[in-house]
Amino acid sequence: MLRYITAGESHGKALMAILEGMPSGLKINTDFINHELWRRQQGVGRGKRMKIEKDTIHVLSGIRKGITIASPIGLLIENKDSSIEKLPDIVCPRPGHADLAGVLKYNFTDARNVLERASARETAIHVAVGAVCKMFLAEFDISVSSRVISIGGADNEEAMVDAVAGAQAEHDTLGGIFEIIVSGIIPGLGSYTQEDRRLDGRLSHAIMAIPGIKAVEIGLGFGYADKRGSQCHDAIYFKKEKGFYRKTNNAGGIEGGMSNGEDIIVRACMKPISTLLKPLDSVNIITKKQAKATVERSDVAAVESAGVVAEAVTAYVIADAFTDKFGNDCLSDIKSFFKSYVKRLA
């Protein structure tokens, strides 16, 4: 199995991850990882922090001469703004953020202790992990991509830009919807035998865990609610030269917790950014008196960036399901097992 853990704060010295279970023999391209990190910083509505940080990956372990050696892969991104010790205390929690729940849970008198780890800045290291997983999946012609469907209700590029500009002028923020597409997938990843092995459940968990994500749907999603089964289930066909196939993909490529061979389609809704330049009402956690929420440096919108992060965690989930089925010791062995499986399906 693949697994990883991260560490680091938004304005700490660095963000770190240890990725365990990546097979030996995989060529690692650090330029590709850095390009994925660059993609996370792009998009309409991003804030000033993106102009400060030029994220660059440092590979600390698990790779020799550019090739994985099966030991844990250590990844690190240094923060240029590492001012955590000098930043002021935060005593007026921001509605929509982890601030209040965090100080109550951990008995803090300073929400800075919460937001430094809860910050979406931490997603940068997830993108680095996902980039490694993307390189692994590419060995089997599997790709993960994303696209923005809407921002603030606007569903074309010009309207999105205008919506963000309007919100920025009014010191407000926007959310939106993005879509993840996994192409080149084979049937049989995941399992119906236990709930924690169901691929749709694992993908939903991974994407919902991204800061700001409040809803996830797979395939037709909420569109199933007002349709009959005869209108929405994907009929099955067979051709000798093509094998089993569907003419529709309302299931989003997953049935019974397993990939069915069609593209996996996942959509997610990101809420508007919690930090507002025109802050909402809050309460001073020390004096208990009414106050305005603290204002921190933030974005106006980050829907495109969230899509890139979702690509990364999706790639991790798919790679983990892939190694669960085909093993994770050695890339050449995995390719042999994969080839045998594809032959049997044919």
| Distances 71 to 67, 74, 346 between C-alpha atoms, Å | 11, 9, 35
Residue 106 banded pLDDT, cuts 50, 70, 90: very high
Q: Which helix (H) or strand (E) holds 61?
A: strand 57-61
3-state SS track over 187-245: CCCECCCCHHHCHHHHHHHHHHCCCCEEEEEECCHHHHHHCCHHHHCCCEEEECCCEEE
- Residue 82, pLDDT > 90, answer yes
In this predicted structure, what is the pLDDT of residue 50?
59
Bridge partners (DSSP) of residue 283 are 290
- Residue 112, pLDDT > 90, answer yes
- What's this model's pTM, rounded to 2 decimal places? 0.96
User: What are the backbone dihedrals phi and psi of residue 196, each rounded to the nearest 5 degrees, phi first?
Assistant: -80, 0
Q: What is the mean pLDDT of residues 120-137?
A: 97
At 37-69, the pLDDT tens digits run 999 999 888 766 556 678 999 999 999 999 999
Q: What's the farthest any 2 CA atoms get from each other in the chain? A: 74
| Distances 205 to 5, 28, 109, 210, 220 between C-alpha atoms, Å | 16, 27, 31, 9, 18
At 151-210, the pLDDT tens digits run 999 999 999 999 999 999 999 999 999 999 999 999 999 999 999 999 999 999 999 999
In this predicted structure, what is the pLDDT of residue 198?
98
Q: Which helix (H) or strand (E) holds 19?
A: strand 14-20
- Residue 286, pLDDT > 90, answer yes
At 299-346, the pLDDT tens digits run 999 999 999 999 999 999 999 999 999 999 999 999 999 999 999 998
Which amino acid, 54? K
For residues 263 and 245, what is the distance between their CA atoms, to the nearest angstrom? 11
Q: Where do the H-state alpha helices sit in the chain? A: 30-40, 49-52, 99-106, 112-118, 123-138, 157-169, 199-208, 229-232, 303-326, 331-345
Residue 178: CA atoms inside 13 Å, Cβ hemisphere, count?
27
Name the nearest CA neighbour of 129 among 305, 1, 6.
6
For residues 185 and 305, what is the distance between their CA atoms, to the nearest angstrom? 24
For residues 208 and 212, what is the distance between their CA atoms, to the nearest angstrom? 8
For residues 268 and 221, what is the distance between their CA atoms, to the nearest angstrom? 10
- Structural domains in the chain? 3-345 (3.60.150.10)
In this predicted structure, what is the pLDDT of residue 1?
86
Lowest-confidence pick of 41-45, 122-126, 136-140, 285-289: 41-45
CB 125 within 8 A of CB 16: yes
For residues 212 and 96, what is the distance between their CA atoms, to the nearest angstrom? 9
In this predicted structure, what is the pLDDT of residue 36?
98
In this predicted structure, what is the pLDDT of residue 341?
97
Name the nearest CA neighbour of 25 among 120, 139, 130, 110.
139
CB 126 within 8 A of CB 169: no
Q: Which two tokens stand for residue 240?
A: 């000798």
Q: What is the mean pLDDT of residues 244-265?
A: 97
User: What are the backbone dihedrals phi and psi of residue 336, each rounded to the nearest 5 degrees, phi first?
Assistant: -65, -45
In this predicted structure, what is the pLDDT of residue 346?
85
For residues 74 and 122, what is the distance between their CA atoms, to the nearest angstrom? 16
Q: What is the mean pLDDT of residues 263-286?
A: 96
SS3 category, 341? helix
In this predicted structure, what is the pLDDT of residue 48?
65
User: What are the backbone dihedrals phi and psi of residue 110, each rounded to the nearest 5 degrees, phi first?
Assistant: -140, 110
> How confident is the prediction for the chain on average, in pLDDT?
96
In this predicted structure, what is the pLDDT of residue 133?
98
SS3 category, 80? coil
